[in-house]
Structure 1
Amino acid sequence: MKAFKTITIETNDAIAVLKFNRPDQLNAMNREMMDEIIDGIHWINEQSEYHVAVITGAGRAFMAGADIKEYGNQTPEQFDSFQEKGKELYDAIENADKPWIAGVNGFALGGGCEIALACDMIVASESAKMGLPEVFLSLVPGGGGTQRLIQKIGINRVKEMLFLGGQYDANTLKDWGLVNKVVSNENFLTEMMDFAGKLSRRPHKSVAQLKRLANISLTTTPFEERINEEANTVKQLYLDVEAQTAIKKFIKKSEQ
């Protein structure tokens, strides 16, 4: 694994943790950081021994969006490149075989919010705040925020978040169905890793296929094709030694 300047990667059993590491800038993302995040995500995705990935931030923020000083001084060509790299980043999380958990420990705004939206689940500290404030810059989210958000919560709430550009607390977003779990600030790291650990102990082949099937449900693929894909997948898993072993173990336990 290469050395990084703006992120860190740590591993714990079957869990890999990618941490944004520009705390003095609230982990605002510049070009160097974006490149390193992409490299880090790809590296984690390629390591089969890690069944779950966590992405979080150092200090008091998850990520406060793009580094506006750099973002605001781009040529059209640089802007296009930034957007293309952003898409690569979000897609690498969303399309990974393994589940990604966003550990939102503070502000997750703009691109930071969009990274969390690309993840499969969100664990947030009680002081966390998420939002898409691009409207204040006469812009719209450029990293899939409008589309991924609408897949997760209702249209009226999406429009409120986008039109007003406000910051929403973790408990509100849990009530809306966006955040999976809210934990205390003091126990954030422990509870986030406990949540990831529980997921890492599930059969990873099954979890990978469950993620793929869930994501397919959000596409324009015809319903009948999606149902057939599910049927084909369960057949493939059923014939695999991992499922056969688990089934036999369950039968043996039930007979005791």
Structure 2
Amino acid sequence: MEVFENLVIERDRQIGIVTIRQSADTNVLDSSLTAELSSAFRSLNQDPEVRAVILTAEGHSFLAGADLKEITGLSVSQAYGFAEKAKALQDLIIHSGKPYIAVVNGHCLGSGLELILTCDFRISGPDAVYGMPEINLGLIPGGGAITRLQMMVGRAHAAELIFTGKLVRPEEARSIGLVGSVSDRPMEDALLLARSFINKSSLALSVVKQLFNRKESEEGALINQEMRAFSMMFDYPDSLEGIGAFLEQRAPVFKERREIST
């Protein structure tokens, strides 16, 4: 197995465990981590001995979104390229024949939340926080959240999360269907769940997963539309003001209103 800078890859019998290392600051899904996660998922997907994959993180933050310093000032084409890489990472989970289990503690926001939406199971620790705060930055979600959240939690809850940037705690996340369960021992529960797959037919699991993800193919055009709309936001000053205000720890001042054709 390849050695990673930002990840720890372990095995528990036939279960692959991918742990995002705690960063000096807050865990963010930057280009380096995206590349390493892509490589790790690709390797685990191709390993016939691995029957299930658990994704988790060290520290107080699971993934607090994209690296804002990395995306500020992107051109439209660069922003679309950023969204394409995020989608390629998600596709490694969606199109894998193996069950993926997300174990979340701490902040799971923006692109971090979009990533776990593609997992088959989501187990929350008691200290997790979930949200899509892009609206506060003069941006919109660009990794499928608008489409997937409506499918998963319904239009009303999805609208509240995305239009307001509201943050939700684990019990509310469970009640609306954003996570499957809340546990004081989320990793232990994830291992029990993953071990239950070891003696099952890998073919049957793969087919079941394909059938569960049929809507992904049907909704693919909508997700591509999200990616285009997300990238277009970088052609307007709101994104620079919103990201800059966040990095400078001040309130943003959005001065102009324009329509963007999606």
1:38 matched to 2:55? The reply is no
Report what 2:154 is aligned to.
Answer: 154
Task: In structure 1, give the amino acid aligned to 2:64.
Answer: A
**Partner secondary structure for residue 177 of structure 2:** coil
Q: Which structure 1 residue ranges, 5 or more long, are not aligned? A: 222-256
What does 1:1-256 correspond to in 2, within 5 Å?
1-184=1-184, 187-217=185-215, 219-220=217-218
**Partner secondary structure for residue 24 of structure 2:** helix
Number of residue pairs aligned between Structure 1 and Structure 2: 219
Q: Residues 149 and 193 from structure 1, CA distance in 2 versus in 1: closer, same or farther, beyond 3 angstroms?
A: same
**Partner secondary structure for residue 213 of structure 2:** helix
Q: C-alpha displacement at 1:188, in angstroms?
A: 2.8
Structure 2 CA distance, aligned partners of 1:217 and 1:37? 24
Higher mean alpha-carbon deviation, 152-161 vs 191-200, is at: 191-200
Q: C-alpha displacement at 1:76, in angstroms?
A: 4.1
Structure 1 CA distance, aligned partners of 2:212 and 2:187? 27
* Cα deviation 1:109-135 (Å, max 9, x = unaligned): 001000110111101101111111100
Q: C-alpha displacement at 1:174, in angstroms?
A: 1.0
Structure 2 CA distance, aligned partners of 1:57 and 1:194? 18
Structure 1 CA distance, aligned partners of 2:43 and 2:132? 28
* Cα deviation 1:141-173 (Å, max 9, x = unaligned): 111111111111110110001011111111111
Q: C-alpha displacement at 1:219, in angstroms?
A: 4.5
Q: Which structure 2 residue ranges, 5 or more long, are not aligned? A: 220-262
* Cα deviation 1:167-203 (Å, max 9, x = unaligned): 111111111122111101xx23222222222233432
Structure 2 CA distance, aligned partners of 1:163 and 1:200? 41
Task: In structure 2, give the amino acid aligned to 1:17.
Answer: I
Contact 1:94 1:119 (C-alpha < 8 Å) held by counterparts: yes
Contact 1:30 1:71 (C-alpha < 8 Å) held by counterparts: no
Say which structure, 1 or 2, has more relative contact order (CA 8 Å, 6+ apart).
2
TM-score under structure 1 normalisation? 0.80
Contact 1:23 1:60 (C-alpha < 8 Å) held by counterparts: no
**Partner secondary structure for residue 25 of structure 1:** coil
Q: Residues 137 and 217 from structure 1, CA distance in 2 versus in 1: closer, same or farther, beyond 3 angstroms?
A: closer
**Partner secondary structure for residue 151 of structure 1:** helix
Structure 2 CA distance, aligned partners of 1:82 and 1:110? 14
**Structure 1 runs (4+) greater than 6 angstroms displaced:** none
Task: In structure 2, give the amino acid aligned to 1:176.
Answer: I
Contact 1:151 1:218 (C-alpha < 8 Å) held by counterparts: no
Higher mean alpha-carbon deviation, 72-81 vs 52-61, is at: 72-81
Structure 2 CA distance, aligned partners of 1:122 and 1:53? 12
Aligned-residue Cα RMSD (Å) equals 1.7
Task: In structure 1, give the amino acid aligned to 2:160.
Answer: E
TM-score under structure 2 normalisation? 0.79
Higher mean alpha-carbon deviation, 193-202 vs 12-21, is at: 193-202
Task: In structure 2, give the amino acid aligned to 1:12.
Answer: D
